[in-house]
Structure 1
Amino acid sequence: MATDIISSNEAPVVQIINNQISTTSTDIAKHFGKHHKNVLREIESLECSADFHALNFEPMIIDVEVGKGATRQERAYRITRDGFVFLAMGFTGPKPPNSKKPTSTPSTKWKNSSTSKNNFPPPQTT
């Protein structure tokens, strides 16, 4: 079962699936204002280990509306938090080094510093 934890125009939709935070390549394309086919190309050409790619970029098939109630199937990816950080670095800053999985990302530092299973920051009050 999927649980949306963020859903807004300012951020891609993020879900918890099987106790893991993830998003999709379609949501990333929308957020960064890119064509989905270009995001797919970026994912498939990432310079990371095959193990990192397999663990963080899960291929999936989605239904896309093409008009008049018709749909077609299209490739997409379900992407973990670590995969998102690695992919988004190429959209927003310097390219990741020619290496395998990054040893430490902001998300793993956040994950490792948490003391409970769902250690989300408290809601802000105005």
Structure 2
Amino acid sequence: MSTKLLLLPNDQYGMGIYQSKDIVATSRAVADMFSKRHGDVLRAIDNCECSAEFRQRNFASSSYKNEQNKKQPMYLLTKNGFAFIVMGFTGKKAAHFKEAYINRYEEMEAALQARYQARMECRQLTDAIKLAHDPVKPHHFSNEMNMLLQIITGKNAKQLKTDRTLPDTAAVRDYLEPNEISLLAALQPVAAFLNVTTPDYQERKRLLTEYAARLRVPGIIGRNTA
């Protein structure tokens, strides 16, 4: 399992999506949520009677820095690894958090699928931009993506990198919230069509903004994020 983050864990479950496309939770967050000593959770993972293949696939050694800025051991757990370790946790509170974690894994699986869809449909948009401009220049692509980001988040790529503390080389799309990436996936094929049929930038922006507003109706895409 790769331990290089694609999306940093930023919720109370300590969960994130890694470049290997693994959705993981940290052993530290699991200990906190289930009111266990982190050392006990680490020992449970170290001593679990699973195959070497299962361990390699579902538990990855990692670390964090404590309040004294000292590196401490930690594990990253996939959905299957999480289920294996917490299956022995009992009681109403444990049952509540098991359900919450399982729901969160499923939400992040849906978010990961939406990111994949957005990547695929970005190719369609890129091809449409190439057809619409002769010669095509780098700013044609960046202008179109910034327009979509402005519609979805109210900010362009540079502003989002600053606001969300992202590296300059980051692909902003990979750091969008689940509802934002879902809206991007829905808008990109429309933007591709409009690049071919509607050459005026401001008119395309108007049409896409109106379409995004319709998609934000509760139950279609989600709340307004702009």
TM-score by length of 2: 0.37
**Paired amino acid for 2:41:** V
2:7 equivalent in structure 1: 3
Moved over 4 A (4+): 122-125
Q: Which has the higher strand share?
A: 1
CA shift for structure 1 position 92: 3.4
TM-score by length of 1: 0.63
User: Which structure 1 residue ranges, 5 or more long, are not aligned?
Assistant: 94-105
Give the Cα–Cα distance (whole angstroms) in 2 for the partners of residues 56 and 92 of structure 1: 22
- Taking a change above 3 Å as real, the CA distance of residues 124 and 32 of structure 1, as seen in their structure-2 partners, is farther
User: Which structure 2 residue ranges, 5 or more long, are not aligned?
Assistant: 92-101, 115-177, 179-218
Figure out how many residues of one structure are paired with residues of the other and give that number: 99
Partner of residue 31 from structure 1, selected from 24, 30, 33: 33
1:76 equivalent in structure 2: 74
**Paired amino acid for 1:3:** L
Q: Which has the higher helix share?
A: 2
2:61 equivalent in structure 1: 59
**Paired amino acid for 1:90:** G
Larger Rg: 2
State the percentage of identical aligned residues: 31
- Taking a change above 3 Å as real, the CA distance of residues 22 and 30 of structure 1, as seen in their structure-2 partners, is same
Greater RCO (Cα-Cα under 8 Å, separation 6 or more): 1
Structure 1 residues 27-68: Cα deviation after superposition (integer angstroms, max 9, x where no partner): 1111101111010011111111011011111011221113xx
RMSD, aligned α-carbons: 3.0
**Paired amino acid for 2:75:** Y
- SS of equivalent to 1:91: coil
CA shift for structure 1 position 24: 0.7
- SS of equivalent to 1:47: coil
